[in-house]
Amino acid sequence: MSEPLKTEKAASSSGLKMMSRATYFREAALKNIFLLCAVLAVAAVGLIFVFTMARGWEVVKDPGLAAFLGGTEWSSSLGRFGILPLINGTIAVTLGALLLGAPLAIGTAVFLSEIASPRMRSIVRPAVEMLAGVPSVVFGFFGLVMIRPVVAELTGGMGFGTLTASVILAVMIVPTIATLTEDALGSVPPGIREASYAMGATTWQTIYKVLLPAAKIGIIDATILGMGRAIGETMAVVMVAGNAPQFFKGLGAPIATITSQIVIDMSYATGTHKTALFGLAIILFLISMGLVALVRALSRLNTKKA
């Protein structure tokens, strides 16, 4: 700092207007390094997209876009790569997971935010958080050895299939939906609750006539993100779905999803087959990006209204 206190315009909002040139350059350089790190996140998404695209876009040439998106058969030995059975499988297990998981998760969130005593809360909330941390292979393993025999008993098959996968996925999406729903309920102004109680409403009336409508968009967001988790979940599904790329034939029949088919085929796929797997990855990427965009659009709608 040979030039003490040479006046430079501060690069930052610190309000420090007088600083040496060395300080100024150091501050500006650091700021740009931080910016670079932040932009890396954008670059990462771009990189993922570009590389899966580069490896997968040739599906428009080889099976052909119509045969890929509209094909009703996925069979590597016949060289047919139609994704409709896989989409069908993904929809089946995701719907099942939402039907079982979303009410449980929303109920848990309402319980945590409105009913539970601090003591109960200190048991249930950590349980929800830990459920989020359990690795998906462990869920898959648990489903394989615990849920599958029960389902086999109920449906009379091997127990691999839509129902088992849905049950496991339902458990896995509970933390996502419960945490976000609890946040949404927490941001409802307490005055609304008090007004409802003051009118003589019971706790339940307050919950379903006042709180749930007020937190509606937050709960929809939570459910959409839970759905995204179910669509993208891989290992747990592979382990219990039975992995037969066929259309839904009943709760106990084996099925394959987009994600499970990638894992099963990746170990031996070559050529067009491998390209088709990257094509599946592109579709998954677009779905997850679309869901994020949807959630952001919904929250923007919500803030505008408020």
Partner 1 sequence: MGKRWANRIALGVLWLCGITTVLVLGAVILYVFVRGIGQITPEFILTRPYGVNAEGGIGPTIVATIYVTGLAMLITTPIAVLAAVYLAEYAVQGRLVNAIRFAADTLASVPSIVMGLFGFAFFVEAMGLGFSVLSGALALSFLMLPIVMRATEEAIRAVPRFIRWGSYGLGASKWQTVSRIVLPSALPRILTGLILAMGRAVGETAVVIFTMGQAINMPFTPLDSGRSMTVHLYTLAMEGINMDAAYGTALLLMVMILFFNLSARWLTARNRKVKE
Site for partner 1 in 186-215 (CB under 8 A): 202-205, 207-208
CA distance linking residue 106 with residue 222, whole number of Å: 9
For partner 1, the closer CB: 66 or 292 = 292
Nearer to partner 1, 72 or 153 (CB): 153
Contact call for residues 269 and 277 (beta carbons, < 8 A): yes
What residues contact 45, with CB distance under 8 A and at least 6 apart?
none
278 binds partner 1 (CB under 8 A): yes
Size of site (CB under 8 A) for partner 1: 97
What lies within 8 Å, CB to CB, of 163 at 6+ separation is 96, 151, 154, 155, 251, 252
84-123 binders of partner 1 (CB under 8 A):
103-108, 110-112, 114-116, 120, 123
Does position 234 interact with partner 1 (CB under 8 A)? The reply is yes
Amino acid at 146: M
Closer residue to partner 1, CB minimum distance, 72 or 194 = 194
Of 163, 211, 238, 241, the one binding partner 1 (CB under 8 A) is 238
Query: Is the distance from CB of 239 to CB of 143 less than 8 angstroms?
Result: yes
Strand, coil or helix: 249? coil
Neighbours of 300 (CB within 10 A): 10
Is residue 233 classed exposed, middle or buried when 0-12, 13-18 and 19+ CB atoms within 10 A define those classes?
buried
Q: Which is nearer to partner 1, 162 or 261 (CB)?
A: 261
Q: Which of residues 30-49 bind partner 1 (CB under 8 A)?
A: 30-31, 33-35, 37-42, 44-45, 47-48
Binding part of the chain for partner 1, among 1-9, 183-191, 211-219, 230-238 by CB under 8 A, reads 230-238
For residue 1, the one-letter residue type is M
Helix (H), strand (E) at residue 236:
helix 235-240
Looking only at residues 152 through 181 of this chain, which bind partner 1 when binding is defined by CB under 8 A? 171, 174, 178
CB of 125 to partner 1, least distance (A): 10
Binder among 127, 192, 195, 297 for partner 1 (CB under 8 A): 127
- Shortest spacing between CB 19 and partner 1, in angstroms: 6
Nearer CB in complex with partner 1: 53/251:
53
d(CA 209, CA 102): 19
Nearest to 294 by CA among 213, 184, 220: 220
